[in-house]
Structure formats: C-alpha cells, structure tokens
Structure 1
Amino acid sequence: MTPIPFQRDLTVTSKHLDEQNHVNNLEYMKWVLEISEAHWVAETSIDIRKKYAWFVLDHYIQYRQQAFLGEELVLTTWLENYSKIRSERRVHITRKSDDKTIIEARTNWCFIDQQTKKPARITAEIVNPFFEFESA
C-alpha cells in the first residue's frame, strides 16, 4: 500500500508575512488544514462528505526553513497510515526554486459521522482513493 500524494502550488504574498517579514507560523497551520481539506474534497464524493468528516486530534509541525514574500511553494500531502477510526496525514511544504523543505507536518485525525459527531469506522471505500494497492 503506497500513499498517493496530492499537491498544490502557492505564492507567498504580503498577507502571509509577520513582523519579521517571513511567513507567519499561523499561515503554515492554515495551509496544512487547507491542503488536507482540498485532498479530501478532490478524492471523495459529495455524498461521502455529507455523511463523514475529520476532526483534528493533534498537530506536529517542524519548521526547517523560512519562506519570504514572492517565493513559490509546493504543498504536498498524503495519508501516511490509518486504523479503525484514525489516520495520520503528512504535509510537506517545499520552496520551488531550490526544493528545500520549509516545514514538515504530521496531523492525527479522527473520522466522524456527521450526524452523530461520534467516531466512525474507516472503510475501504474511504481510503482506497488515497492509496495504491499492490496486486498479488
């Protein structure tokens, strides 16, 4: 089973900067959430999204480099693994010009039923679009 990555490009604008003139740490958190949501939406039907959702259990972000105004970044995400009701999603943000890693993030998510707001079982229907499965 191999994760299928999902990518988006982003250009740093002045609204992303803090008083030090580099990307604000809160922007990275927003980008982690936005790319995660975009991947979920891209790979699932509206019917599935009406029935199920993901709640964040925890985030871990390792900051490796700073990013500055005008830099083009590549946001890449994938599901690293999953269990009955949880999954671990990774997000890497790199700078396009030199391929340096800006941040590495790991988020643990709980899969929930939209109606009950209680944990729901992660089925093959849910994870199959996110992985390549080796044939025997």
Structure 2
Amino acid sequence: MTPIPFQRDLTVTSKHLDEQNHVNNLEYMKWVLEISEAHWVAETSIALRKKYAWFVLDHYIQYRHQAFLGEALVLTTWIENYSKVKSERRVHITRKTDGKTIVEARTNWCFIDQKTKKPTLITQEIVKPYFEFESA
C-alpha cells in the first residue's frame, strides 16, 4: 500500500512572521494541523466526520530552513502508517522556488468515536481514500 499525498500552496504574509522577520514556529504548527484537517475533510463525508474524529497524541517537528515574507510554500501531507486506533501523519513544507525543505513534521493521531470520545478501530472504510492498495 502506498500513501496518497495531499497538497496545498501557501504564501507567507506579514501575519506569519516573528520579530526576526521569518515565519514564527507556531505558524508551522498551525499549518501542520490545518493541512491534516483539510486532508481529512477532503476525503470524508460530513456524516463520517460527525461520527469520528482525530486527536493529536504527539508532534515531532524538524525545522530545516527559514521561510520569509512573500515566499510561496507547498504543504504536503500523507498518512505514513496506521494501526488499530492510531495513525502517523507526515507533513513536509517546501519552498517553491528552490524545492528546499523548510519543515518536516510527524504527528501521531488517535482515532476516536465522537459520541464516546474513546479510541475506536480504524477500518478499511476510513483508510481507503488515503492509500493506493496493490492488488494481489
């Protein structure tokens, strides 16, 4: 099975900058969460999202390069792997002009039932839109 990546473009604006005039680290965290949510929403129905949700267990972010005002970035995400109730999602943020990786993030998520707020089994129905499955 091969993950299917999901992408969004973003341009750095003044609201993203810190006092050093480069993108604030908290902005990257927001972008990781936003692209993850956008991927979930793009591949699921409203009914499914009313029934299930994802909670963050932990984040690991590696800052490779800085990004500055006006730069065009590409946010790419995919589900790296999953188990019974958890999945690992990756997010890479790259600069369009030179392809340099700005940020690499890895987030572990827990799949929950919206009513009980307890972990619930990740079924094939849930993962099918996010992977290409090889036929045997």
TM bucket, shorter chain: over 0.9
CA RMSD, Structure 1 to Structure 2 (Å)? 0.2
For 2:13, give the aligned amino acid.
Answer: T
Identical columns (%): 88
Give the Cα–Cα distance (whole angstroms) in 2 for the partners of residues 123 and 134 of structure 1: 17
Gaps of 5+ in 2: none
Give me the TM-score of the superposition, normalised by structure 2: 1.00
Deviation at 1:72, TM superposition (A): 0.1
1:54 paired with 2:74, answer no
Distance 1:46 1:4 in 2: 21
Question: TM-score, structure 1 length as denominator?
Answer: 1.00
Paired residues in the alignment total 136
Residue of structure 1 in register with 2:115 after alignment: 115
Tell me the residue number matched to 1:124: 124
Q: Deviations over 1:104-126 (max 9, x none)?
A: 00000000000000001000000
Distance 1:24 1:37 in 2: 20
Q: How far apart are 1:49 and its partner, in Å?
A: 0.2
User: Does 1:2 find its partner at 2:2?
Assistant: yes
After superposition, the C-alpha distances for 1:80-135 in whole angstroms (9 at most, x for unaligned) are: 00000000000000000000000000000000000000001000000000000011
Q: Structure 1 unaligned runs (5+)? A: none
Counterpart amino acid of residue 123 in structure 1: T
